[in-house]
């Protein structure tokens, strides 16, 4: 008798199979007994009927508790009411009878759930979220692989900052100072001279003392970088990429989105072209909507929320003041006060999910900016070398996985978007 995953039960109607998993709940209806089994791939109803199910299995049913680990064998049948597949149980094997499970159907506080994150992962909601996350990651890799990008892994331990040095996690590296990476971008800039189009994908770290619903200390980013690319090329790539991810999730993870009660109609509107506006236009728009933002200030979370609730598609805001952008951005030749950067803001108030732009290919300008910011030049000698040997226009962006998951799943807080969230006051478990 084959051991199968519940997701494939439709291929075995009328046949005997074995499922292995955990008891989510059990109930009785007259003389019939039911177990909802979770096997990692799906949730399935297992039916125990006297005369069809072995006597020993009927007895063992009484012992089962929430999260008991079991193996059930029986015949796959289709439920005539809703078309779902269920198992008419013949035999039951118990691996372990679970102790009373701490997480029950009653309401629990978020601190309790976070302290029990290792168990909370088993809930139907968390199962659905993390399967959507896995699909988004698959989509990221597929998108770039299909377009001739080469995956070039960047280091997690680095001798220098990619962004502001005040948000670095510092560690000792055999007597030298090293930092946990904020971004793989600088290393991808080196790799484009070898491969033209590259991407890196991995964990990044920001020691930003923020408690907002959009911030984590450790998060994952996918970062493409393209040689011979302008800001316009970067924006076009970001639009295509975001559209692709949403379409893939709608195609592959509809069941999970239903569990999350996500309004699918809003995701179905994510089609190119997206909304585009300059930073200056965005500031004017925000001021008209009641924000007190002034030109020259970076957007806060509230500003992003106000702006994105005005549209049902992502917004590409571009050409920001150079004063608050990183040293490596190219300046706008028409207005040198502006950096050729772009942020993609997700609709429904979710804010920034993508940040990037065109990089400066001018070594003199980069040296000037490095000195202005008081950055140790010796740590960037290798980066400046890239402008000495075959420098070309280039650009790219980073997409944050957790914020993207939050938006697509319709979640309030990013803490549910990653298996083990690291927040300002959260390092356990």
Beta bridge partners of 352: 345
Specify the pLDDT at position 167. Answer: 84
Specify the pLDDT at position 12. Answer: 98
Domains, in order of start, for the chain: 6-96 (2.40.50.140), 117-416 (3.30.930.10)
- Rounded CA gap, 223 and 231, in Å? 15
Contacts 24+ apart (CB under 8 A), 364-373: 365/331, 366/327, 366/328, 369/327, 369/328, 370/327, 372/327, 373/327
Specify the pLDDT at position 105. Answer: 84
- pLDDT per position in the chain (429 positions), as tens? 899 999 999 999 999 999 999 999 999 999 999 999 999 999 999 999 999 999 999 999 999 999 999 999 999 999 888 889 999 999 999 999 999 999 998 889 999 999 999 999 999 999 999 999 999 999 999 999 999 999 999 999 998 776 666 789 999 999 999 999 999 999 999 999 999 999 999 999 999 898 899 999 999 999 999 999 999 999 999 999 999 999 999 999 999 999 999 999 999 999 999 999 999 999 999 999 999 999 999 999 999 999 999 999 999 999 999 999 999 999 999 999 999 999 999 999 999 999 999 999 999 999 999 999 888 888 899 999 999 999 999 999 999 999 999 999 999 999 999 999 999 999 999
Q: What is the pTM of this model?
A: 0.96
pLDDT, one tens digit per residue, over 102-124 is 999 888 999 999 999 999 999 99
Yes or no: say if 308 and 353 are a contact pair by the CB < 8 Å rule.
Answer: no
Give, in order, the Cα–Cα distances in Å from 25 to each of 28, 117, 128, 315: 11, 20, 17, 44
Specify the pLDDT at position 81. Answer: 86
47 closest CA partner among 4, 97, 98, 85: 85
Task: Quickly count: other Cβ atoms within 10 Å of residue 43's Cβ.
Answer: 17
């Amino acid at each position: 008798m084959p051991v199968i995953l519940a997701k494939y039960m439709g291929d075995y109607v009328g046949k005997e199979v074995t499922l292995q998993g955990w008891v989510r709940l059990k109930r009785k209806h007259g003389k019939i007994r039911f177990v909802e089994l979770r096997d990692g791939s799906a949730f399935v109803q297992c039916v125990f009927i006297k005369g069809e199910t072995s006597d020993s299995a009927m007895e063992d049913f009484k012992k089962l508790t929430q999260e008991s680990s079991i193996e059930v064998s029986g015949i796959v049948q289709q439920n005539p009411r809703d078309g779902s597949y269920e198992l008419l149980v013949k035999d039951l094997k118990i691996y372990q009878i679970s102790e009373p499970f701490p997480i029950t159907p009653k309401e629990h506080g978020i601190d309790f759930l976070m302290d029990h994150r290792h168990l909370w992962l088993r809930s139907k909601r968390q199962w659905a979220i993390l399967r959507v996350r896995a699909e988004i990651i698959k989509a990221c890799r597929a998108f770039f692989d299909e377009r001739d990008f080469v995956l070039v892994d960047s280091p997690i331990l680095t001798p220098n900052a990619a962004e502001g040095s005040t948000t670095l996690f510092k560690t000792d590296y055999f007597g030298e100072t090293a930092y946990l990476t904020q971004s793989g971008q600088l290393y991808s800039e080196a790799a484009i001279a070898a491969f033209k189009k590259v991407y890196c994908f991995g964990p990044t770290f920001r020691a930003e003392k923020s408690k907002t619903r959009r911030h984590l200390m450790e998060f994952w980013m996918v970062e493409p970088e393209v040689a011979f690319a302008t800001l316009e090329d970067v924006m076009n790539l970001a639009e295509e990429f975001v559209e692709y991810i949403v379409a893939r999730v709608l195609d592959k993870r509809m069941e999970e989105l239903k569990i999350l009660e996500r309004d699918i109609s809003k995701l179905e509107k994510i089609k190119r072209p997206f909304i585009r506006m300059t930073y200056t236009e965005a500031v004017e728009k925000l001021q008209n909507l009641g924000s007190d933002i002034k030109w020259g200030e970076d957007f806060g979370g509230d500003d992003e929320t106000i702006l994105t609730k005005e549209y049902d598609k992502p917004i590409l805001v571009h050409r920001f003041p150079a004063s608050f952008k990183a040293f490596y951005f190219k300046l706008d030749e028409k207005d040198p006060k502006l950096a050729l950067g772009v942020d993609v803001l997700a609709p429904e108030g979710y804010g920034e999910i993508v940040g990037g732009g065109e990089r400066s290919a001018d070594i003199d300008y980069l040296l000037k900016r490095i000195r202005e910011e008081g950055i140790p030049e010796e740590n960037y000698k290798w980066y400046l070398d890239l402008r000495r040997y075959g420098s070309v226009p280039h650009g790219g962006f980073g997409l944050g996985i957790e914020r993207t998951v939050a938006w697509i799943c319709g979640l309030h807080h990013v803490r549910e978007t990653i298996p083990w969230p690291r927040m300002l006051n959260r390092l356990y478990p």
